[in-house]
Chains A and B, each alone.
Chain A
Amino acid sequence: MSDTPQHSPLPEPEEVQEQPLAVSGLLGRAITKTSSLFAFGFLVSMATLIYEILMRHVFNSPTLWAHETTTFICATGFVFGGLYCAARDKHIRVVILYDIVGPKMRKTLDIIISIVCMISSGFFAWAAWLMVQRGAFTPSGDIHLETTGSAFNAPYPGILKVFLLLILIVLTVQFFVQAVNYARTAPIMPAKTGTKD
């Protein structure tokens, strides 16, 4: 082990693969473009929590908004993260069967999986719409975004429900785009090993 005690030059920070999957099409590219905004949210959450600790511990005046806001920002990140992973095919898959079958069958599987995911996302988008009807409107039909009900009382629950609806719609479209593109591309020849990455 001659390499260890020496300071080797720092490895280049490995860039997160900015390129979306080819099959995700234009939409995939748009999702990847938007991703920085939500990634940035995690940094904002961190800063918010530090601010809260300072205010509470040093100035003895905890905020009423920090925890709610952090939870909300992270929640939008989690929801968007699911879409982001779908666009770049980063969700974990168990590929035992997928690896055994030939390229043609794999193409068929890719198409079917995309269609099934599209149909379920579509159902969820519809269900989210029903949820939004109660979370963003009063019984008399006026717009009223559901609030947290705390002293700060931000409309985070209402916004998050609407956001979830939007993301589920985009997710449905994304799976549709993937299904179409899988159907159009030629089967991939060499079997991929291990989990798709």
Chain B
Amino acid sequence: NAQEFTLKIQSSDAAGVPNFELEQEWAERIGTMTGGRVEVEMLPVNSIVEHAETQDAIAAGILDGHITDTSYFSGKDPAFGLIANPVGAWSAPSEMLRFVEYGGGKELMNSLLNPRGLQFIGAVTPGLEAFVSSVPLDGVADLKGLKMRAPEGMVQQVFAAAGAAPVNIPQSEVFTSLDKKVIDAADATVFSTNQAMGLHDVAKHPVYPGFHSMPMLEVSINKTKWDSMPEDLQAILEMSVRDLAHDMEARLAMKDMEAVAAARKDGGVTIHNWSAEERAKFRQIATSQWEKVAARSEDAQKVYDTLVDYLKSQGMI
């Protein structure tokens, strides 16, 4: 039972974040499932290269793979930004995962990644992000003039279109900027992690469940390495990622609900939940931005066409 493959996979999560633990457990399960033929070493964010550089590092054979937010590569091609986070398209992880597995998403990802030397294995997601805000937000109208932090990618553009004033500050300055009211709100991550990082101590009006973003985390590895693997190992990897998606969704949702319950009990934090009507309004604004992104590159147009076809076929738009 000799070890045949070692995979060094860098995550976009930090070592102490719950998501990283889930990914480490996934790595261990692969060892068990392959009888030790594949050994996966999970590396925390920025440990080998910076988060936006993993795609190049995998292509160069420095890393073997990554579990990362695809929108980090929006600068390489806007198509990555559109497929990673088509703001407004998904209201639950299962909807996104169905598109990836069965609606053409996987083929689309591989058509983007294969020429770059990567093989897409599957997608996972931490779930619908919660919105962090220090002012009460109950609908799209409240976004007008809101000074908020948004990361690169679609999200920033959508908020700008919704009338907010996005500020491009890095994650490392989110806390102090919220605390000192330099900004009023921020696109951070899921509720439980925001809570643990103390964001709700300084911004007491979170919107949960979130309305704005559900990032797709891709699991991909070096294509040459993938092609050199026997079919059984490929199948195990694919199936394990499908299971990781379930694991991540379920366990992070549980953590979120625990955190929400704790926040409700402690008081001091007012959780806002948008009405279906307001959510639809925001979705309307978001989808109007897809076309703009699609116009930016050939591949982005391809993503747009596939996505819209799928959503139409499902009666979702």
* Residues in A lying within 8 Å of B, measured CB to CB: 56, 60-62, 64-68, 130-131, 134-135, 138-140, 144, 146-153, 157
Contacts and interface: CB of A to CB of B under 8 A. Distances in A.
Nearest to A67: B168
27 contacts: A56-B165, A56-B167, A60-B145, A60-B147, A60-B165, A62-B147, A62-B165, A62-B167, A64-B160, A67-B169, A67-B170, A130-B60, A134-B60, A134-B116, A140-B115, A146-B76, A147-B74, A147-B75, A148-B152, A149-B74, A149-B75, A149-B76, A149-B78, A150-B153, A151-B156, A151-B166, A157-B75
Q: Which of B56, B75, B115 has the most CB of A within 10 A?
A: B75
Nearest to B55: A134
A168 to B, nearest CB: 17
Contact of A134 (B59, B81, B156, B165): B59
Interface string B231-248: 000000000000000000
A95 B140 CA distance: 64
Contacts, number: 62
Contacts of A153: 75
Interface string B55-76: 0100110000000000111111
Nearest to A66: B168
Given A147-B75, A149-B73, A149-B152, A68 B168 contact: yes
A135 B55 CA distance: 11
A195 B251 CA distance: 57
B299 to A, nearest CB: 9
A64 B168 contact: yes
Interface of B: 52, 56, 59-60, 71-78, 81, 115-116, 145, 147, 152-153, 156-157, 160, 165-170
Contacts of A140: 115
A146 B157 CA distance: 18
A177 B312 CA distance: 65
Contact of B71 (A68, A131, A149): A149
A60 B157 CA distance: 17
B137 to A, nearest CB: 17
Nearest to B157: A151
Contacts of B165: 56, 60-62
Nearest to A157: B75
Given A131-B56, A146-B75, 6 more contacts: A60-B147, A64-B166, A134-B59, A135-B56, A147-B75, A151-B166
A160 B52 CA distance: 14
B277 to A, nearest CB: 27
B145 A150 contact: no
Contacts of B59: 134
A139 B116 contact: yes
Contacts of A64: 156, 160, 166, 168
3 tightest Cβ-Cβ pairs between the two chains A and B: A149-B74, A149-B75, A139-B115
A192 to B, nearest CB: 39
Q: Which of B52, B116, B152, B160 has the most CB of A within 10 A?
A: B152
B168 A150 contact: yes
A150 B115 contact: no
Nearest to A69: B168
A157 B76 CA distance: 10
B47 to A, nearest CB: 19
Contacts of A56: 147, 165, 167
A84 B56 CA distance: 29
Contacts of B74: 147, 149
Contacts of B56: 131, 134-135
A172 B78 CA distance: 36
A66 to B, nearest CB: 8
Nearest to A140: B115
Contacts of A135: 56
Contacts of A60: 145, 147, 165
Contacts of A150: 152-153, 156, 168
B63 to A, nearest CB: 14
A55 to B, nearest CB: 9
Contacts of B76: 146, 149
A143 to B, nearest CB: 13
